[in-house]
Each structure stands twice: as structure tokens, then as C-alpha cells.
Homo-oligomer: A and B are copies of this chain.
């Protein structure tokens, strides 16, 4: 494990951010030696520059932080490695967070200690940062009370740790663009992704039919079987959709009025083909790295609308109350066995191995969730 080098330069964008930086921790402990309310030291995954996550991240020990009146110190229980965490470390997003930074944006923890002014949380409560907030890949996180959302302790910790990015993306996309009623149909590509799996189950919980497109690959029959078990009504590989009358495949299902695209290229065109007159396609990813191509007549005669979704837009926004309501709903589905997805809990000591798996260096693996 690396030792904190005094030569590191830390640049904080906000006071909150500053206070999570290793250097600010040193300052706190050095200049306030007699402070009474300190967090324990924290072990954290830090990166000092953007780049390949397996090269730029390292686990270091951070000194205690002083809790201000409204602060809450949370002992992290679990936090996932999401593709968006990887993208942030790589620096491929249009807005790069300042470095150095601690990795991770979501996770669940237990309240460990409270600032003197905190009244709505108690030691032992389970909490998640909502909206998701940087720095969850560490053993103790200190943030203001308003950052934390108290949740039901009776759900498995790996679901609590992962609820606020992928499942919330799925639910927001089902609710934010088109008014859906039970009996309506939705269509999506990239259906085997974690968001895709959530869409299938959330759609089912709301009485919506769902049509799913997956890529052609070895094991596609097995993938279909898995999605069927989650509640998928129809599943097609892209090549199975090379037919003249694509809508004939729908049988008795109503034509979809909402579609989700996380692939682009041909897979996006297939979603557009399935959509009914006046339908909407929401793009939230581009796994094929190909653009979306749309005919003029799709807009004029078929009256399709194309939109985009990025959860980031919801962070630090006025919608946090709405997001928390949705999170509670999603966790209630988890509790009732109506929402599940595969995860692998990995001890924090094995972070590098989990990161390699999340980076796809070791073949296909379930979502990696660090257990602290």
C-alpha cells in the first residue's frame, strides 16, 4: 500500500471536495489536534490523474477528518465499480472532475458518528449518497447530512449499494419521457445490460409489455433464457430482425410507444423500426460506438421523437426528492423479490482484482461490488 507523499498537489473545486482530499485531511488533523469530533482514518482508492484506471488508481490511507456541525461520518459497507466510475477516471466525460480524487459514486454505509447539529440521522442507520456523490470507494466518508438518504436496512447491502445509478436510470427513463399505462409496450436494445435487466423487471412490475434486442453472439440462447426468467416478453438477436415485416413479429402486443437505445448503429435503427407512430426513442449509451441514423420520413410521417438521458443531469438538482422516492420504491421491489440482478461481492483487499474484472480484462463477470 502506498504511503501518502507530501509532494502530491491537491486542487479542490469546492469546499466539500477539498475536505475529502488527502491533503485537507492532513491539514485538519495537523492544525486541529485538539478537535473532539474526528472521523477514523480512512482507506481510499485515489487517482492523481485521469488515465487507465488500473494504472492511475492506488489504495492509500487518509488521516481523520474533523466533523463540522452538519456532517455525518459513514462507515462504508459496500460500493460498486460502475462503467461510469471507470469513464470518470479515464476522463472521457465532457466535464472532467478535478484530480486528485477518490473513486466511486454510489454505495451504502452505516452511520458511524454525527456532527453536533445533525438531527435526522442516528448512529447505525443505513444511508446512501443521493444524488450519487464522489468518493464512495473508501472505508469512512464524511459528508453533510443533506447528502445522505436513509434506507431500509432489510435489503441486501449489495442492492442498497447499487440502487442509485443503474436501477434509477431504468426507472427514470420509464417515467420521464412518455406517459405509459399498463398494457403498453416498450422496446429496448442492449437488453442484457444491468439497466436493460432492470427495465424488463420494472416494466413488468408496472404491467408493461417489453420487447428486447440483444446482439448476436455465442450463448445468445442462454442469454434469452435468462431474460425470459426476468420477465421479458419477446427477445430477438439483431440478425433475427432482418425480416421484411418487423412489426409482424409483435403478434398480439401493441406497437411500442417508447424505446431505449444504449447501442447505436443498426441496433438503434431496429428500435426505431419497432416504434409506433408518434413514438419516442431515448438514447442512454452507445456501446457499438456507431452513430444513430434516422430517415427524414421517420420524423415527418412517423412523427418519432429522439431524446437522450444522462443520470448526471439529476445530480445536485431539484429532483433529488423525486429520486429518493424512486429509490425507496426500487428497494421495495428488491425486498419483495421483484427486482434482481447479478453481482459479485469482493473484499476491499481484492480491489485491484475486482477492477480488472470490471475492466473486462478477465472475460465476462457480474457487476463487481466492493465490500468494506
Contact = CB atoms under 8 A, between A and B. Distances in A.
A303 B308 contact: yes
Nearest to A294: B292
A93 B297 CA distance: 10
Contacts of A304: 308
Interface of A: 93-94, 264, 282-286, 291-310, 313
B299 A307 contact: yes
Contact of A293 (B293, B297, B303): B293
Nearest to A264: B296
Contacts of A296: 264, 283, 285-286, 291-292
19 contacts: A93-B301, A94-B301, A282-B299, A283-B299, A285-B296, A286-B295, A286-B297, A291-B295, A292-B293, A292-B294, A292-B295, A292-B299, A293-B294, A298-B308, A300-B308, A301-B310, A302-B308, A304-B308, A305-B306
A299 B304 CA distance: 15
A322 to B, nearest CB: 18
Given A283-B300, A286-B300, A294-B294, 4 more contacts: A292-B296, A298-B308, A305-B305, A306-B306
A282 B284 CA distance: 21
A282 B296 CA distance: 10
Nearest to A269: B291
A49 B121 CA distance: 76
A232 B49 CA distance: 47
A295 to B, nearest CB: 5
A296 B261 CA distance: 9
Contacts of A292: 293-296, 299
A299 B308 contact: yes
A293 B306 CA distance: 12
A306 B310 contact: no
A211 B371 CA distance: 55
B294 A291 contact: yes
Nearest to A303: B308
Contacts of A297: 94, 286
